[in-house]
Amino acid sequence: MDDDNRAFDELTLREIADRACKNVYIGAAVLPKPLFVLDHDDEEDISTHTRPKIKCATVSTVEPNDPIAKSSLTRYAKTLASEFNSIVIEHHLKWAPLCHSIPGPVHQSAPPSTRFGRYDFHHVDTMLDFAMKHNLHVKGHVLIWHVTSPPFLEDMTGEEVRECVKRHIFTTMGYFRGRIEMWDVVNESLASDGTLVENVFYRKMGPGYIEECFRMAHEADPDAFLIYNDNKVEGCGCGYEKGTGSISDTSCRPAPNQAKSDGFYNLLKDLVNKGVPIHGAGMQAHFNAGGVKHQRPPTPAMVKRQIRRIGKLGLRVNISEMDVRVSKLPASSSTLMKTTAQTQIYRDILSAALSEPAFDGIWLWGFTDRHTWVSNFYYDDAPLIFDENYQRKSSYYGVQKALKTICCGGCVGDMTDNKCYLTADLDADGLPWGGEWMQSEPTNVNNDTDTTKEGQPDWLQPS
């Protein structure tokens, strides 16, 4: 069958993105072990060798005795190369894995400080070689994030930390210059109230550290596309676009994390107004279909509104780490209900995002339920678009249909059941988005245990 005449349902996500009316990244976070190491059910020499099953490999490395794929690609690699046009390095490009925790000190008895000038880029190099061979764009993640920074920073003075940060940015970006074209420079600097987390960089370098890091990154590689990335900042409530909304105003409805979303927007606006070299904003989109309070998913209209106001600052916007957890829906929920919720979130959120001119990319945080960080950091779940056997799930087709909306013949903003939630949270019949599965808010909301101000990551926050 001629490639141009193939039914859309037969096309991969990468092929559909190639047919889109605007350039858009469709990418996934990548891990080295399943990319290169044969799993127990990979085809190469399967009749003559018994191999152990690769367990969820989110922080693992390729070991010297691992059975490396030689004559053919692993199923993980085949799926990645055929379905996506870009990758982001999930774990192995963070600061601590590069020079502290993986591979660790030269000797077990040696203090981490002896590795100031010693970086291990091996795993990232191999993933970049794969990307270049298969014509995949690469996003670097992440230069500065307090959660994955070496602990020895705490023992330094402010000037020593500043010098160490600059050395790290120049070393890492310099090594990959020309191969990694875009970078998450700073990650998750905001607390739930929209103010800056008082992390090691804030305490040692002062509240202007984000600006400093972006200027350092631009100096290290003037051609790189520089992004600020954060979590739970994906939505903006009706009436809050300019910060004029109010909880007491019944005509305005805030997003689930409105204060943090406003802080995200105001941080970006401040950086732009100061002439800081920042080019894009990443909204992570780690969604929990069964979530309430700060874990509640935003609606498509809220996501569209947030992207639009950031786009007006002159920045590009991407969804940077998307996955959709469903195991916290009530135990009475059927498998069909969980499938419906997951598929609708993927399809409708992405359809809304793609309808905005400033939106330029979707990165999933993994792509197969066999290797998802959720299992290691949260609980057992199936948050991605391929199942553990690399079969397409209903959520895959949700992403596929979202991409189709920006292709020739598509309908921009088209959503589940041909309904439209681009500008409001209710459809023409007055029915709310997600009404089949969205959970009611608890009557007693208590956020006293919120520790985001101290920099606790989301997986350590109360659910």
What is d(CA 179, CA 139) in angstroms, rounded to the nearest whole number?
A: 9
> Which letter does DSSP use for residue 407 in this model?
B
pLDDT at 50 exceeding the cut of 70 = no
Band of the pLDDT at 256, cuts 50, 70, 90?
Answer: very high
Please check the confidence at residue 48 and state whether its pLDDT lies above 60.
no
What token pair was written down for 352?
Answer: 């809304």
Give the pair of three-digit tokens for residue 440: 């009611």
pLDDT-derived band of residue 63, with 50, 70 and 90 as boundaries? confident
pLDDT for the residue 1: 43
Please determine, for residue 216, whether its predicted confidence score (pLDDT) is greater than 60. Answer: yes
The pLDDT of residue 54: 73
The pLDDT tens digits of the residues spanning 326-380 come to 999 998 889 999 999 999 999 999 999 999 999 999 999 999 999 999 998 888 9
pLDDT band at 244 (very low <50, low <70, confident <90, very high): low
**What percent of the chain has pLDDT above 90?**
68
Residue 41 pLDDT greater than 90, yes or no = no
Give the tokens for residue 89: 């390095």
Q: Residue 443: its pLDDT value, please?
A: 78
In the predicted structure, residue 290 carries a pLDDT above the cut 70:
yes
Cα Rg, the chain, nearest whole Å: 22
Say how far apart CA 407 and CA 23 lie, in whole Å: 11
Contact present, 384 and 109 (Cβ < 8 Å): no
Report the C-alpha gap between 359 and 342 in whole angstroms: 22
Type of residue numbered 12: T
| Partners of 141 in beta bridges | 184
Average pLDDT over residues 145-167: 94
- 106 pLDDT exceeds 50? no
| Residue 399 Cα distances to 14, 25, 144, 408, 426, angstroms | 11, 13, 30, 17, 22
In which element (H, E) is residue 54 found?
Answer: none
Percent of the chain's residues with pLDDT above 70: 87
pTM: 0.92
Select from 121, 138, 160, 123 the least CA-distant residue to 27. 138
Q: What is the pLDDT of residue 177?
A: 97
Residues counted in the chain = 463
